[in-house]
Amino acid sequence: MSQTIQTNVNVSGMTCGHCVSSVSEELEALAGVEDVAVDLNPGGISTVTITSTQQLSPSEIGEAVAEAGYLVVANEA
């Protein structure tokens, strides 16, 4: 079994299941992405966990999320 990489990103602006499916669909279209799990926080910052077989660049993740109409926000450490 190939090793998978989990990438967590915070996405603002998602409010419902339709938002989740839009974002998931765009991210699943990226090369190597096997699974997208969204912890929806309606109206706040939702956490998206992307499981992939290769490292994804922040810019390609950001572009995919933007394509769905949302914004990746920085982790508040």
Per-residue pLDDT of the chain (77 residues; tens, 9 = 90+): 568 999 999 999 999 999 999 999 999 999 999 999 999 999 899 999 999 999 999 999 999 999 999 999 986 54
Helix residue ranges per DSSP H, 1-77: 17-28, 58-67
pTM: 0.89
Q: Which residues contact 48 (CB under 8 A, 6 or more apart)?
A: 8, 9, 10, 11, 23, 27, 36, 37, 38, 39, 65
